Chain A
Amino acid sequence: MTIEEVQNEIIDEFSMFDNWEDRYQYMIDLGKTLPLIDPKYKTEDHIIKGCQSKVWVHAEMENDKIDFTADSDAIITKGIIAILLRVFSNQHPKDIIDADTDFIDKIGLKEHLSPTRANGLVSMIKQIKLYAIAYQTQLN
């Protein structure tokens, strides 16, 4: 699936929730099922420090596609990470570079990408894009 197709699928899923409780419960459950990052990557090199929660991200490229793994110490942050990884993981670097993140707004989670939250997510998206740029350079 393309990044856009995955995003639309997520928007469809979230449109089924008509209250915040269900939306957040879904994210919390996603956070619980998120495949954890290999502990060896849970290091200072891979950390994105937010004031509120910490995020770890690791990337590897296989068959010209980037595979991301990530973790957070806060479960709601982890739930959003799970959504972001579903969108960006296993995609071609160029597509990751070109992708936008408007879908976050459409599923009612925009507040979590506000810099005032300081939860590490804004920096995480930046980091995902930076990984993509780095791997794209390797492909060129």
Chain B
Amino acid sequence: METSQEHSVFNIEAIRQDFPILNRKVNGKPLVYFDNAATSQKPKVVIDAITHYYSSYNANIHRGVHALSQEATDAFEAARKTIQKHFNAEHAHELIFTSGTTHGINLVASGFTSFLKENDEVLVSAMEHHSNIVPWQMLCERTGATLRVIPMNNEGDLVISDFDKLLSSKTKLVFVNHVSNVLGTINPIKFIIKKAHQVGAAVLIDGAQACAHIKADLVDLNADFYVTSAHKMCGPTGIGVLYGKEEWLKKLPPYQGGGEMIEEVTFEKSTYAGLPHKFEAGTPNVSGAIAFGAAIDYLNDLGFDKIQAYEDDLLNYATEKLSTLEGVKIYGTSKEKTSVISFNIGNIHPYDIGTILDKMGIAVRTGHHCAQPIMDYYHIPGTVRASFIFYNTKEEIDIFIEALKKAIGMLS
């Protein structure tokens, strides 16, 4: 890679050149993209991986005897290995390609239907995304199990002493996000996993908000399941991964029937293919998987240590600047957080701020961020959320602060 050397000193100008979209203008102003927690932008290597696949070796995988099919299969499986290595999973077949985090969560929730019974308990954290609440509510409705909530405090940290009290022999499953999409809190998942295992519960970690910022080591974490989406980490949309420990994936029933996931089919009975194919029915998102691999290579070339240090610097700078504005209230002040700031200014509605910022070319997210329980906790309708990533700059934060001052002037 020609870029890896240049990036060894975290050359921000060179990095920004890798992302074609950062050159565009919005409403006549240079784009300032601070909605990275919703989806990240894509470097040219990822876009090229998709184009190259479709223009050079597009074929269906795992079944053709011809050259293109072999090349496509090799690239697809190489991507799985790249992801395995990145997350330090023991086996490549423990990584199931999904359409994204939500798909992975639903696959596990559906599979657990036969394992749960009445009086069993399922724990979720108070700071989950709707996609990590609703599938478990549905699971509890199907099985008669009870959903219980690990509370959070005003800083946006989970109350671990309460988590301890909730754990019992009834606890069968625990679901926590690695990082909160609203508050940015990095949850102590290694500790949570260890505690849950002591009562025999399985743990699923939603890594969607963590994966672009933190390199999760699955062997070290000892998680039973870990899910994420490629598009949050500079990869394409419509592809993600579910990691499951081999013993769990063997136990879980298939989620969807179809081609690719079977070993033998007769009208009397079909037998299922081994891992990972048992969970990958139908033709997968081949180009997406390959580009996902390219995205992971790109991030590792930059280096997660450097990414984290750079983003911490951006977060501190933005927090400091934002705090100088009158009436600003920041939600999520954990000591351990990623580069996300949720805030409100006085009584100004987040929608109004978002609208004015958009007019000035600045993309932020406004609303409840699919995490209404957090909004209820703080008694607010929503927040403005600015989420930064390694290609953002302090100059962009300055533009953002000036734009906020203008918005306040117009709206007050």
Contacts and interface: CB of A to CB of B under 8 A. Distances in A.
B266 interface: no
B293 interface: no
Interface stretch (A47-55, A57-65, A129-137): A47-55
Contact of A76 (B27, B351, B368): B351
Interface residues of B, number: 17
B22 interface: no
A52 B27 contact: no
Nearest to B348: A75
Contact of A75 (B27, B352, B354): B352
Contacts, number: 39
A119 interface: yes
Interface string B226-264: 000000000000000000000000000000000000000
Nearest to A72: B349
B410 A24 contact: yes
Given A51-B368, A52-B382, A74-B349, A20 B355 contact: no
Given A51-B367, A53-B349, A74-B351, A24 B381 contact: no
Interface in A42-98: 51-54, 73-77
B142 interface: no
Contact of A74 (B352, B359, B368, B410): B352
B344 interface: no
A45 B348 CA distance: 25
Contacts of B219: none
Taking each of B352, B366, B368, B411, which has the highest tally of chain A beta carbons within 10 Å of its own beta carbon? Answer: B352
A129 to B, nearest CB: 24
B359 A20 contact: yes
B368 A75 contact: no
A53 B351 contact: yes
B59 interface: no
Interface size class of chain A, counting residues whose CB lies under 8 Å from the partner chain: 10 to 19
B27 A21 contact: no
Contacts of B351: 52-53, 74, 76-77, 119
A128 interface: no
B356 A75 contact: no
B381 A73 contact: yes
A28 interface: yes
Contacts of B352: 28, 74-76
A2 interface: no
A28 B354 CA distance: 14
B368 A28 contact: no
Nearest to B355: A76
A33 interface: no
B410 A25 contact: yes
Interface in B332-352: 348-352
Contact of B410 (A28, A51, A53, A119): A28
Interface string B52-84: 000000000000000000000000000000000
A118 B368 CA distance: 12
Contacts of B367: 51-52, 118
A52 B366 contact: yes
A119 B351 CA distance: 8
A127 to B, nearest CB: 19
Interface in B13-32: 27
Given A53-B349, A53-B351, A74-B351, A28 B366 contact: no
Contacts of B348: 75
Contacts of B359: 20-21, 24
Nearest to A79: B352
Contacts of A24: 355-356, 359, 410
A54 B351 CA distance: 10
B47 to A, nearest CB: 24
Given A53-B351, A74-B351, A20 B27 contact: yes
A109 to B, nearest CB: 11
Taking each of A74, A75, A77, which has the highest tally of chain B beta carbons within 10 Å of its own beta carbon? Answer: A74
Interface in B168-222: none
B380 to A, nearest CB: 11
A80 B349 CA distance: 15
A54 B375 CA distance: 15
A21 B381 contact: no
Nearest to B28: A20
A94 to B, nearest CB: 34
Contacts of B349: 53, 73-75
A118 B355 CA distance: 12
15 contacts: A20-B359, A21-B359, A24-B356, A24-B359, A25-B410, A52-B366, A52-B382, A53-B351, A54-B381, A73-B349, A74-B349, A74-B351, A75-B352, A75-B411, A76-B355
Interface of B: 27, 348-352, 354-356, 359, 366-368, 381-382, 410-411
Interface of A: 20-21, 24-25, 28, 51-54, 73-77, 118-119
Given A73-B381, A76-B351, 5 more contacts: A25-B410, A51-B367, A51-B368, A74-B351, A75-B411
